[in-house]
Structures are given as C-alpha cells and as structure tokens.
Amino acid sequence: MSENKDKSKIIDVFIDVEAHRLTADIVKKHSTNRNDIREVALKGLNLEWCRNIVELGCGFGFFTEALKGKVHPEAVVTGVDVISDYKSPFLEACKKAGVKGVFTSSGASVVKDLEEKSVDLVICSYSLYFFPEIIPDISRILKKNGLLVATVHNKENMGELVHAAKDVLAANGMLQKSVKLPIEILISRFSSESGYETLSSWFQDIRTKNYVNTLIFKPGDLYFLLEYFSFKQPLLLLSGTHAGLGPALNLLKIHLEKLFTQRRGNFTISKDDTVFVCSKPLYGRGT
C-alpha cells in the first residue's frame, strides 16, 4: 500500500469515532478472554515515576484511561493520532485517568521532533503496524529507564473474515486469491510474530505476554457480527481490484449471513494478541 492509499484506508476505518467505540464494545462483549488487555499489559510494572508519557495512535484514549492511579500525579500524556476528531474523546479519557492531556493530529512521525531521552513511557495499542518505521525514534526519545508498552495482533487476526472476503470476491471474479487484502498488508508490517525481531534491534530487554482470545458470535448475534464487519470492511476490500465496492460489500454481507446460518450461529473470529514490554533502549547500538 502506498502511503496515501494507506492513509485513506485508515481514515475510512477510524474517522467515525462513535462507530469505533461501538466496535470496541462489540469486541469486549464477544471476547472469550474476560481479562482487560490493558490491565494485563500494565500488570507488574512500576509506573509511578512516569511523568512524560506519549500514546501513539491513541484513538479515543483506550490505553491512557487504564493509567489511572498508576502514574505520577503530575503526569502529562500526549495523545498522537492522525484523526483530529479524537482530540476531545482523548482529552476526556485523560480526565478519567486523572492525568493532564495534550493531543496532536500531526501523525506518529511527530516523535522525530521530540528530544532524545526525554520520555518516560510510550504506550501504543493496536497501532504500531501503521508506523513501525518510527520504532528507532521511540527508542531514541525514551529515557534510559523508559518503557515502550505495545499491544499488537497476531498475523491470523480476523483470518476468518479475510478468508470469507477472498472466497466470495474470487468466486465473483472481483479478486485474484493471491492478492493481499489491506489488513494482511498492514499486519505483515508488525505483528505478534514479527514484532520481537523488529524491536530487538532497538531494545535490550523485551518481555512478551500472550493474550489468547477469540470473538464468538452466538445465535442472535448476527447484527453484531455484521456491525463488526461493517466497521472493518475498508481493510477487507480493495478499491481498484473490484468491479465496484458497493456490490462487493453486499456480496460479502450475504456470504457472512449464509456462513452464520450454516454454523448455526456459532461464528468465531481469531483475536489473539501479544503485549510487548520493552525496556533498556539501545539508541541504535543494536542495529
């Protein structure tokens, strides 16, 4: 994906703040893992000393909210997201977390402008695959005892939807099965599987925590499955390769409804994640 196409897909998916929140609620309600991944990620970390914090790809501040009571009372969290509509929900999340908030919509490359060894904590949930090229800068801006805590998806994330999309689009002559969908390209840039190797050039100490999870849509849940799909669909459909996005979308919805009925309303979607806790930044010495 070129940078511009990439950006337009991101905007297509995440521009609707309310739909993003509703999707997060669907994920929470339909997850087999009842633990909150943010709590899992932050468990056992002493963050009381952290004052200068950056959340990259913050959205509505899902991760920042979980810092409540865990960081320095004078902590300031800078939320970074390309979509400016997240400013007010992010600042609201900061209020809930009891921290001072600042928001910038300049995009994650803004870390290039931050001073070296100036940040205590960088947090990043489900966003690093949008900008893995800034990992060297994350290492550069962290203090010696600074931390990067990131949650990322496994490669097979949403695999069932990817397969369904490919099957139906190929069967209707709208896609060659070998063509990668936007979500596959995105996740291949940074995932649970590839993350360790990428990070190990920039951090001496990397701990991982597996977060095993599946989304289950039971009888009566078809509406929520289709809502989840609708939110994610720009990442599943390729403009340009299709006869038209509208017809492709309709075909895919009908196909999902059929699969849901065939499986008697027991539709599962892979949602395993990994938490990376990275410390001892190498400042380029590991490359």
Interface positions with ligand SAM (CB under 6 A): 10, 14, 24, 57-59, 62-63, 80-83, 107-108, 125-127, 130-131
Q: Which is closer to ligand SAM, CB of 10 or CB of 119?
A: 10
Q: Which is closer to ligand SAM, CB of 63 or CB of 190?
A: 63
Q: Which is closer to ligand SAM, CB of 172 or CB of 270?
A: 270
What's the closest the beta carbon of residue 275 comes to ligand SAM, in angstroms?
Answer: 12
What's the closest the beta carbon of residue 197 comes to ligand SAM, in angstroms?
Answer: 22
What's the closest the beta carbon of residue 258 comes to ligand SAM, in angstroms?
Answer: 28
* HEC assignment per residue over the chain: CCHHHHHHHHHHHHCCHHHHHHHHHHHHHHECCCCCHHHHHHCCCCCCCCCEEEEECCCCCHHHHCCCCCCCCCCEEEEECCCHHHHHHHHHHHHHHCCEEEEECCCHHHHHHCCCCCEEEEEEECCHHHCHHHHHHHHHHEEEEEEEEEEEECCCCCHHHHHHHHHHHHHCCCCCCCCCCHHHHHHHHCCHHHHHHHHHCCEEEEEEEEECCEEEECCCCHHHHHHHHHHHHHHCCCCCCCCCHHHHHHHHHHHHHHHHHHCCCCEEEECCEEEEEEEEECCCCCC
What's the closest the beta carbon of residue 51 comes to ligand SAM, in angstroms?
Answer: 21
Q: Which is closer to ligand SAM, CB of 221 or CB of 273?
A: 273
What's the closest the beta carbon of residue 59 comes to ligand SAM, in angstroms?
Answer: 3
What's the closest the beta carbon of residue 37 comes to ligand SAM, in angstroms?
Answer: 9
Q: Which is closer to ligand SAM, CB of 83 or CB of 164?
A: 83
Q: Which is closer to ligand SAM, CB of 19 or CB of 222?
A: 19
